[in-house]
């Protein structure tokens, strides 16, 4: 009888754990953004997938019952799928007011339209201009009127809208590498790229891209977050806040240890 009771208790306990489990689907870009995610592929790497990927997966250890399913899509598709509530989250997403129509950022007052809470960011990334040697446009940090031609930028990235608001003509391309190749062919006068990715590509192929240089000062510096879908936050308000809180804790307490594995990039 005691054995039967023990088995029943185990089954009931296991059922309770299963009932409390929360599965969440999270997407990120299928183009590399070293060291935050690695590889130009739809595959989710098991070994050294990237700092941001590791941070997101750590949530499973931080929140009891949370199971994360990762997938990789073109960035614009990530945004579309989140808006349609076909996935529960996307990263790395910089804050833009227009993206509040797509989903939720962590905010200080826990409302959708509240002030974004930078303490719950995944990381911070800088954008810079990349130009051909000897062709730098004399960028001072705010003189957007100097751009007398098309500036390249990755498809769907927030810098596109930032530049367009300043009256700059922007031509989007599927990836950072596409933009650099267009620059070499003089199809654009400069490329607005995230430093982490632009610098990595220039370093990896110094022969091919030897005529391209990064221009100072930077264009912009942005915080990047995990965005959650309207459906997920509405159905799981407390878990959503806990997820964002834990991301902040992971960045504060574990980021350096994770990043050390990628110091050779």
Please, what is the average pLDDT of the chain?
91
Kindly list the distances between the CA atom of residue 18 and the CA atoms of 15, 21, 120, in Å, as whole numbers in the listed order.
Answer: 5, 5, 28
Radius of gyration of the chain (CA): 21
What is the tally of helices (H) and strands (E) in the chain?
8, 8
The per-residue pLDDT for range 130-186, each reduced to its tens digit, is: 999 998 888 999 999 999 999 999 999 999 999 999 999 999 999 999 999 999 999
Kindly list the distances between the CA atom of residue 217 and the CA atoms of 22, 142, 164, 186, 199, in Å, as whole numbers in the listed order.
Answer: 44, 10, 19, 22, 15
Longest Cα–Cα distance of the chain, Å, equals 86
CATH number of 20-118+226-262: 3.40.190.10
Does residue 26 have a pLDDT over 90? yes
pTM for the full model?
0.86
CATH number of 124-222: 3.40.190.10
Q: Which residues pair with 215 in a beta bridge?
A: 129
Which whole number is the average pLDDT over 111-124? 97
Q: Where are the domains of the chain?
A: 20-118+226-262, 124-222
Residue 19 has a pLDDT of: 40
Residue 6 has a pLDDT of: 41
> 20-118+226-262 and 124-222: same fold?
yes
What is the side-by-side strand order in the sheet with 89-94? 66-73, 22-29, 89-94, 212-228, 123-132, 190-194, 151-154, 170-173
The per-residue pLDDT for range 36-89, each reduced to its tens digit, is: 999 999 999 999 999 999 999 999 999 999 999 999 999 999 999 999 999 999
Number of Cβ atoms within 10 Å of the Cβ of 235: 12
């Amino acid at each position: 009888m005691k054995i039967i009771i023990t088995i029943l208790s185990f089954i009931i306990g296991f059922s309770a754990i299963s009932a409390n489990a929360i599965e969440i689907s999270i997407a990120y870009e299928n183009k590399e953004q070293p060291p935050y995610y690695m590889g130009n592929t739809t595959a989710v790497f098991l070994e050294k997938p990237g700092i941001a990927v590791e941070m997101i997966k750590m949530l499973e250890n931080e929140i009891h019952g949370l199971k994360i399913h990762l997938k990789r899509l073109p960035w614009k598709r990530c945004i579309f799928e989140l808006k349609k509530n076909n996935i529960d989250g996307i990263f790395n997403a910089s804050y833009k007011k227009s993206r509040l129509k797509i989903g939720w950022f962590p905010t200080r007052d826990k409302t959708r339209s509240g002030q974004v809470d930078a303490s719950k960011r995944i990381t911070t990334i800088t954008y810079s201009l990349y130009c051909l040697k000897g062709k730098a446009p004399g960028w001072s940090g705010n003189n957007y009127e100097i751009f007398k031609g098309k500036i390249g930028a990755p498809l769907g990235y927030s810098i596109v809208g930032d530049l367009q608001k300043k009256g700059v003509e922007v031509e989007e391309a599927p990836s950072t590498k596409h933009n650099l190749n267009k620059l070499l062919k003089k199809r654009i006068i400069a490329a607005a790229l995230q430093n982490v990715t632009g610098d990595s590509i220039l370093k990896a192929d110094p022969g091919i891209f030897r005529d391209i240089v990064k221009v100072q000062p930077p264009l912009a510096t942005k915080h990047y977050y995990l965005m959650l879908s309207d459906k997920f936050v509405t159905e799981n308000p407390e878990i959503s806040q806990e997820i964002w809180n834990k991301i902040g804790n992971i960045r504060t307490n574990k980021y350096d240890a994770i990043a050390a594995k990628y110091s050779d990039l």
